[in-house]
C-alpha cells in the first residue's frame, strides 16, 4: 500500500471515492488490515470495552492510547492513523497540547476529539500548532452518561439544526475530518455535502465519504446486544482477510450501510 495522508483523503472526497476505516489496537491486526487494503485505522478509546473489559470508554487513559498507537503503527506503517484523545484529556489548552504531542509522537497522524462548539478554542490552538484534528459529533461515547445511553441523535428539528451548526463551526475552527455517529442518514447526507473535509460515518447512513466500524463488531465477536448499525462481515466470508476485503468493497460501492444498518 502506498502511504496515505490527509491529502489522499481530501482527493478521494473530491472524486467521490468512498473509503473504509476500522479500529485496531495491536500489531498483528494492524498489519492484517493494511495488507487487506484498509487505508484508515482508528486507535479508538473503544479499547476500554473491547480490550480492557470496561462498560464504557471513560476509564481509558492517554498512556493506554499511546501504547496501542505505537503497536498499531508498527503493524501498519502506511495507513492514515487516527488516535482518540481520551475522556477529559483535552478540555484545557495546555493539557490538550501536552497529551496530543504524546500521541502524535507515538505514531498517529491525527487526533480525534468528541464534542461540539465548546471545543472551538481547543481545535483552533491545536490547528495553529499544525496538528491534524478529527471532530466527532452526534452520539459521543465519552458523554454516554449525559446522553443517557447509546441512542440515535438528531431526531428532532432542533437537534438536527444543532448538529449541522456544530459541524460547520468545527470545520471553520480547523478540523480536517469529521466523524458522525448514530444520526439519521439524511442529516449526514446534508453535512457531507456541505463540508469540504472528509466525513466518516458510523451508524450514519451510506452518504458519508467514508465508513468506520469497530473491528470486533465487523468480525462478529462482540458480546451482548448488537448495535443496529454493525454488521458481521466474517460470517459469510470464511476468513478475516476475506471479511475485511468484503467490507472495503461494500463501502467503496456504497452497498454498506444499506437501510437495514441505517437510521
Check 66, 157, 181, 193 and give the catalytic one. Answer: 181
Say whether 56 counts as a known binding-site residue: no
Question: Closest Cα partner for 206 from 248, 262, 135, 155?
Answer: 262
Say whether 112 counts as a known binding-site residue: yes
Cβ(48)–Cβ(23) under 8 Å? no
CA diameter of the chain:
48
In the block, cell 509522537 appears at: 105
Say whether 165 counts as a known binding-site residue: no
Cell numbers at residue 17, please?
471515492
Say whether 84 counts as a known binding-site residue: yes
Beta strands per DSSP E along the chain: 19-23, 40-43, 80-84, 110-114, 133-138, 177-181, 199-202, 210-213
Question: Closest Cα partner for 122 from 196, 174, 195, 181?
Answer: 174
Q: Is the peptide bond before 257 cis (omega within 30 degrees of 0)?
A: yes
In the block, cell 481545535 appears at: 123
181 is catalytic: yes
Q: How far is Cα 65 from Cα 67, in angstroms, rounded to an integer?
A: 5
Cβ(202)–Cβ(181) under 8 Å? yes
Q: How far is Cα 228 from Cα 230, in angstroms, rounded to an integer?
A: 6
Say whether 209 counts as a known binding-site residue: no
Specify binding-site residues for Mg(2+): 45, 84, 114
Catalytic residues: 181
Specify binding-site residues: 45-46, 84, 112, 114
Specify binding-site residues for 3-methyl-2-oxobutanoate: 45-46, 84, 112
Amino acid at each position: 500500500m502506498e502511504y496515505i495522508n490527509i491529502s489522499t483523503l481530501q482527493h478521494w472526497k473530491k472524486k467521490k471515492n468512498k473509503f473504509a476505516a476500522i479500529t485496531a489496537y495491536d500489531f498483528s491486526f494492524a498489519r492484517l488490515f493494511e495488507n487487506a487494503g484498509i487505508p484508515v485505522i482508528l486507535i479508538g478509546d473503544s479499547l476500554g470495552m473491547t480490550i480492557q473489559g470496561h462498560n464504557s470508554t471513560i476509564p481509558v487513559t492517554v498512556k493506554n492510547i499511546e501504547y496501542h498507537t505505537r503497536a498499531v503503527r508498527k503493524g501498519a506503517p502506511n495507513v492514515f492513523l487516527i488516535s482518540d484523545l481520551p475522556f477529559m484529556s483535552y478540555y484545557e489548552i495546555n493539557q490538550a497540547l501536552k497529551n496530543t504531542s504524546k500521541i502524535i509522537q507515538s505514531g498517529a497522524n491525527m487526533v480525534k476529539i468528541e464534542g461540539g462548539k465548546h471545543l472551538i478554542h481547543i481545535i483552533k490552538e491545536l490547528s495553529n500548532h499544525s496538528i491534524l484534528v478529527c471532530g466527532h459529533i452526534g452520539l459521543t461515547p465519552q458523554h454516554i452518561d449525559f446522553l443517557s445511553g447509546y441512542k440515535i441523535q438528531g431526531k428532532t428539528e432542533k437537534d438536527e439544526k444543532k448538529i449541522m451548526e456544530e459541524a460547520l463551526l468545527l470545520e471553520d475552527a480547523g478540523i480536517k475530518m469529521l466523524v458522525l455517529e448514530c444520526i439519521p442518514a439524511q442529516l449526514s447526507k446534508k453535512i457531507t455535502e456541505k463540508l469540504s473535509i472528509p466525513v466518516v460515518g458510523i451508524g450514519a447512513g451510506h452518504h458519508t465519504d467514508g465508513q468506520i466500524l469497530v473491528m470486533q463488531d465487523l468480525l462478529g465477536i462482540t458480546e451482548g446486544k448488537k448495535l443496529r448499525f454493525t454488521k458481521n462481515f466474517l460470517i459469510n466470508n470464511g476468513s478475516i482477510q476475506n471479511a475485511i476485503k468484503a467490507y472495503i468493497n461494500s463501502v467503496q460501492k456504497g452497498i454498506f450501510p444499506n437501510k437495514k444498518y441505517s437510521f
